[in-house]
């Protein structure tokens, strides 16, 4: 399968007057053409920073991509000039933001904001732009597009606004769409509609999607593959099936246990105790050690290597080491 995006060893740091925050610490992942990759994790784990890094939208200063490569269709975006990035943003890669209430400029009409990107990148006439905009509004399911074009954002509901944001992102027909928590700020019923819209759009346009979320319900619905992030690192990746049925990392297991499920009624919900580490001075070992129910001494000392469980499923955890497996078997035996 053709890889549209390949991220290798990405590091992002933020310099604040309290010190340097290492927000993303060596992230590797790739995205195949036409698939949906979900990046899952708690807030502050670096998933939004990663997506902003791909768009090169990290405010510099204080932020900086300090190492690594982001290859989009073979060319490294970390080395691209700002001018080149402008020709990529909105055209090849588009982005959808979390809160549709703030993502639209309150003083400009919807039509202006829709057509703006198109007119920036493709030299089209006003009439052609209008036609395309109407087409997009129709695609994302906004009734009466002709009248609605002349209205301002505050005249739309949250769900409608998110549809407009999606239309804006898709109007130049990008190959990659990055959706940063696209449903978090919406009502549950609207969430489902928006997720269905994503599926429909992907079928219609073949766009590849990176979905940033903390909501495993969203992931279960539309993701093909999942990357689980914790404290600036990807700790486990796999297909939806790998992650939901065979989670190997204790953190992934914890995440799944903390989500209420209808099919497992009666089973207790178990929250993960504690809080993620401070990224001013991240631990040198596995960052999850302090909260991990299986923490060993080695976990504090050394970051675990990548264990390849199958072609699609990879995990970074010391529990994969044969010695750890022996230890666990022993303790389980002694308790029994």
Partner 1 sequence: MKSRQEIHAGYSPSEVPDEWFKLKEKDKDAAEAVARPSLSYWKDAWKRLVKNKLAMSGMVFLILLTIMAIIGPILSPYQVNTQVLQDQYQPPSAAHWFGTDSAGRDVFTRTWYGARISLFVGLMAAIIDVSVGIIYGGISGYKGGRTDNIMMRIVEILYGLPYLLVVILLLVVLGPSLTTIIIALTVTGWVGMARIVRGQVLQIKNYEFVLASKSFGTKSSRIIRKNLLPNTMGPIIVQMTLTVPSAIFAEAFLSFIGLGIQAPVASWGVMANDSLGAILSGHWWTLFFPAFFISFTMFAFNVLGDGLQDALDPKLRK
Partner 2 sequence: MLRYILKRLLIMVITLWIIITLTFILMVSIPGSPFNSERSSNETIQANLESHYNLDEPYHIQYLLYLKSIVTFDFGPSIKKPDQSVNELLGRGFPISFELGIVTIIVAVISGIILGIIAALRHNGFIDYMAMGIAVLGISIPNFILATLLIQQLAVNFDIFPVATWKSPAHMVLPTLALATGPMAIIARLTRSTMLEVLTQDYIKMARAKGLSPWKIIIKHALRNALMPVVTIMGTLLAGILTGTFVIEQIFAIPGMGKYFVESINQRDYPVIMGTTVFYSAFLIIMLFLVDIAYGILDPRIKVNKQGGE
Residues that bind partner 1 (CB under 8 A): 16-18, 273-275, 277-278, 280, 284, 289-291, 294-302, 304-305, 318, 321, 323-324, 326-327, 331
Binding flag, residue 108, partner 2 (CB under 8 A): yes
Q: What is the DSSP string of 90-138?
A: TTTEEEE-S-HHHHS-TTS-HHHHHHHHHHHHS---HHHHHHHHHHHHH
Q: Is residue 87 involved in binding partner 2 (CB under 8 A)?
A: yes
Instruction: Out of 167, 168, 218, 227, name the contact with partner 2 by CB under 8 A.
Output: 168
Q: Which residues contact 27 (CB under 8 A, 6 or more apart)?
A: 7, 9, 10, 46, 50, 68, 229, 232, 233, 234
Q: Does residue 223 touch partner 2 according to CB under 8 A?
A: no
Measured from the CB atom, the residue of 244 and 294 that comes closer to partner 1 is 294
CB of 104 to partner 1, least distance (A): 23
165 binds partner 2 (CB under 8 A): yes
| Residue 154 binds partner 2 (CB under 8 A) | yes
Closest CA to 242 of 258, 265, 223, 264: 223
- What gap in Å lies between CA 212 and CA 63, rounded to an integer? 20
CB of 299 to partner 1, least distance (A): 7
Q: Is 286:292 a contact under the CB 8 Å cutoff? A: yes
Euclidean distance between CA atoms 34 and 27, whole angstroms:
22
Does the protein bind partner 2 through residue 155 (CB under 8 A)?
A: yes
Residue nearer to partner 1 on the CB measure, 133 or 272: 272
Angle separating helix axes 110-121 and 126-139, nearest 10 degrees: 120
* Contact status: 48 vs partner 2 (CB under 8 A): no
**Can you tell me which of 27, 53, 65, 103 binds partner 2, judged by CB under 8 A?**
103
Interface residue with partner 2, options 20, 32, 66, 120 (CB under 8 A): 120
The C-alpha torsion from 253 through 254 and 255 to 261, rounded to 10°, is 80
Please state the closest distance from residue 295 (CB atom) to partner 1, in A: 4
Spatial separation of the C-alpha atoms in residues 282 and 13, rounded to whole Å: 12
List contacts with partner 2 (CB under 8 A). 55, 57, 85-91, 94-95, 97-99, 102-108, 116-117, 120-121, 152, 154-155, 165, 168-169
């Amino acid at each position: 399968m053709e890889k549209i995006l390949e991220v290798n060893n990405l590091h992002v740091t933020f310099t604040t007057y309290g010190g340097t925050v290492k927000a993303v610490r060596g992230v590797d992942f790739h995205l195949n053409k036409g698939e949906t990759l979900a990046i899952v994790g708690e807030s502050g784990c670096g998933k939004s920073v990663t997506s902003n890094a791909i768009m090169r939208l990290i405010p510099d200063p204080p932020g900086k991509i300090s190492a690594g490569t982001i290859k989009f269709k073979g060319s490294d975006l970390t080395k691209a000039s700002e001018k080149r990035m402008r020709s990529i943003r909105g055209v090849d890669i588009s982005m959808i933001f979390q809160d549709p209430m703030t993502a639209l400029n309150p003083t400009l009409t919807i039509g202006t904001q829709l057509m703006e990107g198109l007119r920036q990148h493709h030299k089209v006439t006003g009439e052609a732009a209008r036609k395309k905009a109407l087409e997009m509004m129709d695609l994302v399911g906004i009734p009466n597009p002709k009248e609605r074009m002349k209205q301002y954002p505050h005249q739309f509901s949250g769900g409608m606004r998110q549809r407009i944001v999606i239309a804006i992102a898709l109007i130049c027909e990008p190959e990659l769409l990055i959706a940063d928590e696209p449903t978090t700020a919406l009502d549950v019923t609207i969430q489902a509609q928006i997720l269905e819209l994503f599926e429909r759009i992907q079928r219609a346009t073949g766009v590849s999607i990176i979905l940033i979320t903390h909501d495993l319900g969203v992931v279960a619905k539309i993701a093909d593959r999942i990357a689980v992030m914790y404290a600036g690192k990807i700790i486990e990746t796999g297909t939806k099936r790998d992650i939901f049925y065979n989670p190997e990392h204790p953190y992934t297991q914890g995440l799944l246990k903390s989500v209420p499920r209808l099919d497992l009624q009666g089973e207790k919900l178990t929250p993960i105790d504690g809080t993620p580490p401070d990224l001013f001075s991240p631990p040198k070992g596995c960052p999850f050690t302090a909260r991990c129910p299986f923490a060993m001494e080695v976990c504090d000392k050394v970051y675990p290597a990548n264990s390849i469980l199958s072609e699609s499923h990879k995990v970074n955890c010391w529990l994969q080491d044969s010695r750890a497996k022996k230890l666990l078997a022993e303790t389980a035996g002694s308790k029994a």
